[in-house]
Amino acid sequence: MKPYYQIIFTIFAFIFGAVLTTNAQTFADDIHTYAKPNQVRVSHVDLDWTVLFEQKSIKGMATLNIVRTEKNAPLMLDTRDLNIEKIETSANGKTFKPTTFELGTADKILGAPLTVKLPANAKQVRIYYSTNPTASGLQWLEPAQTAGKSQPFMFSQAQAIHARSFIPLQDSPQIRVTYSARVRTPKNLLAVMSAAGNSQTTAKTGDYRFTMNKAIPPYLIAIAVGDLEFKSLGKRTGVYTEPSMMAKASAELTDTEKMVEETEKIYGKYAWGRYDLLVLPPSFPFGGMENPMLTFATPTILAGDKSLVSLVAHELAHSWSGNLVTNATWRDFWLNEGFTTYLERRIIEAVYGVNRREMEATLGKRELINEMSEMSENDQTLHVDLKGRDPDDGLTGVPYEKGALLLRWLEESFGREKFDKFVRGYFAKHSFQSITTETFVDYLQKNLLEVYPNVVSRADVDEWIYKAGLPKNAPNPKSDAFTKVEMQVEGFMSGKTVASALMTKDWTTQEWLHFLRKMPETLSVEKMSELDKAFNFTKIGNSEIAFQWLMMSIKNKYSAADARLEDFLINIGRRKFVRPLFAELAKVDMKRACSIYSKSRSGYHPITQSAVDAIVKCN
């Protein structure tokens, strides 16, 4: 039996989600979905799942509440490699009857459309199905691929359009849904989801229930199942991870509660209740994923000195920009990530100081400029054209760093006090909505440009959003600490100072990264060896520094780092690291790239596999 509050919630979701409406919401054209929400849209998803590790499959049913605007239109859903067994409909939420459906031809990017015939009075659709072992939004780990080495692990990654690989739904960020779930697992494993219901006692029953009563985009539906435990970090924050990782993870993340408090001071009340984190095994393809109430995070942020927790600030910021106010289509992705990167830096400033913010902003802008130097002009625009392309192609530095620079430019132009007021109003006005770039620009025009005229022109804003590259008026973050780092680089490269005598005491990760990135593209083996002997870069545990060093080692054919490179690529699946390392290695030694990839590929998430498959070409 469901707890009484879930029964009540389901009844209300059914009643309000199923009503025929004459004032239908107007949806933007989303080229990455088969859904036709202006005809029929899904408002609530109720999941009943059994997680089958031996089959690497989730089996069960999804019951969808629908809102019908066109009486005779079918329900159009997105799927990818789902095994559809049968579909039923109901007029009253109690009695379900079979209906006909058609699973269309699969597109390599979009998957296959699922067309469901709706009887005249249908208000719910129930789909019985199972996922494919190669579902793009799920990763199944053998015990050996986890930290504890004793139990299997499964986790999801639905952004951008991977939710359709484990739920038949309308997989567009503008079609927001509430959801509930019952999840059955092996009794020795814990299930957690991006919803209320996660167990802080971590009692492992094998039968778990969850409820998300705030409407979210489908890509934020998330699940993980594994040998997990929980530790509180504050009154509404905590961390889940494998037992062997808990001490390290909880020590690194102690500032999480403070981050929530500081963000609320600037941007308003946190709207989601709890903010917990799940530190996943190292195969997780991204740094983090902002699943509401439960951020998924890579263990590569656990540097031991809190120097990489800007990722936590970033994912927390998504609780406002991305989760509360969401991009309507993936062409508007910069609305999520540009705002979030800007907010992230403001949180870092509030918790760790201006100097830390400026170091990270400086590194971010430099990485953006380097990345854009190798990009087409089309991909250098914020309002990027993704027609005929996978939205994952839009995961570049442009929506993040260029978007953040646009917002920083607006802050500098109008002053922080006025701009903060504007941003708070923006979040309040568009809460729990998905909006387009055009909606943002119109709001900006009416609530900032026209309120304070003759400061910023609409033409200036349009240049930032619709044109390639960075405008000449782009902010230029500066760090006094980096100036001192550059003096050490100069001393080393000129031969005036040996590596062991460089003044590096108390350097942060950001300073070390700046130090390595200011080195010449080409370094002699002797210089590489001297640096390695002085600072032990080849064996360093900090993943960001290790990545930068390994990139330099490939370019300069520094063979002393070969074993670490292979170990790094086999044991870490973060796309940000794996993709460029393989790209650089493929330039100089495709045979070796193939050899390492043959060992590492099975441990990568499908998203990472897809990225590297396009780079490493083996016979």
Catalytic site residue from 179, 400, 426, 597: 400
**Distance separating alpha carbons of residues 492 and 519, to the nearest angstrom:** 9
Smallest CA-to-CA distance from 143 within 131, 152, 154 is with: 152
- Listed in sequence order, the residues at least 6 apart from 561 whose beta carbon sits closer than 8 Å to its beta carbon are 532, 537, 538, 549, 550, 553
**Ramachandran region of residue 170, left (φ > 0), alpha (ψ -120 to 50) or beta?**
beta
Going from the C-alpha of 206 to that of each of 173, 189, 199, 227, the distances in angstroms are 31, 7, 12, 12
Active site residue 270: no
> What 3-state DSSP class applies to 78?
strand
**Distance separating alpha carbons of residues 171 and 260, to the nearest angstrom:** 30
Q: H or E segment at 77?
A: strand 75-79
- Burial label for 424, CB within 10 Å (0-12, 13-18, 19+), is middle
Within 107-245, where are the H helices? Answer: none
Q: Are 537 and 545 in contact (CB under 8 A)?
A: yes
- Listed in sequence order, the residues at least 6 apart from 207 whose beta carbon sits closer than 8 Å to its beta carbon are 182, 183, 184, 185
For residue 205, count other CB atoms closer than 10 A to its CB: 11
**Distance separating alpha carbons of residues 394 and 49, to the nearest angstrom:** 32
Within 415-457, where are the H helices? Answer: 416-429, 437-444
Catalytic site residue from 88, 315, 344, 360: 315
Active site residue 315: yes
> What 3-state DSSP class applies to 106?
coil
Write out the catalytic residue numbers.
315, 400
